[in-house]
Amino acid sequence: MVRKFLGYSRLERRLVVQAWLALTLVRILLWVLPYRRVEAWLIKPAAQVPGRATPAEIARSITRASTLVPAATCLVQALAGSWLIRRAGGIAELRFGVAKDHAGFKAHAWLEGEGRILIGGRTAADYSMLAPADDGRR
């Protein structure tokens, strides 16, 4: 794993470290705070940090770093990715879906941007997307 990391470009290494930090922060926040508070803090317009990273590059770094963070679920990855992409000046939309299987309901979160699914796309097609809630906050 270290050898693979060292084989990344300087930008990729920086992005993976940022992604690891963001994933860890989001995971801890979701353990100690209600989802709505975490979402409100992460999804609000962020102070932009100049950088050359595209939303696709940030999404790839989230996917790479997620293997290093325990319990980095689809929700954790989508929230962390959204936060980093917004900080880089990009646009990303958090999506939720549900699916029914033999054991009941399953849920999934993914991130869309640049006209495609950036994070969580491997299984997103298996879920029916929920309509965004209009609770007056956005």
pTM for the complete prediction?
Answer: 0.84
Domain that holds residue 29: 2-129
Cβ atoms of 90 and 83 closer than 8 Å: no
Q: Which residues contact 56 (CB under 8 A, 6 or more apart)?
A: 114, 118
Residue 75 lies in a domain: yes
Residue 19 lies in a domain: yes
What's the domain count of the chain? Answer: 1
Q: How far apart are CA 112 and CA 89, in angstroms?
A: 15
Alpha helices by DSSP H, listed for 33-54, are: 35-43
35-48 confidence digits (pLDDT tens): 999 998 887 766 66
Residue 137 lies in a domain: no
Residue 107 lies in a domain: yes
60-83 confidence digits (pLDDT tens): 999 999 999 999 999 999 999 999
**Mean of the per-residue pLDDT values of the chain:** 87
For range 5-10, the mean pLDDT: 82
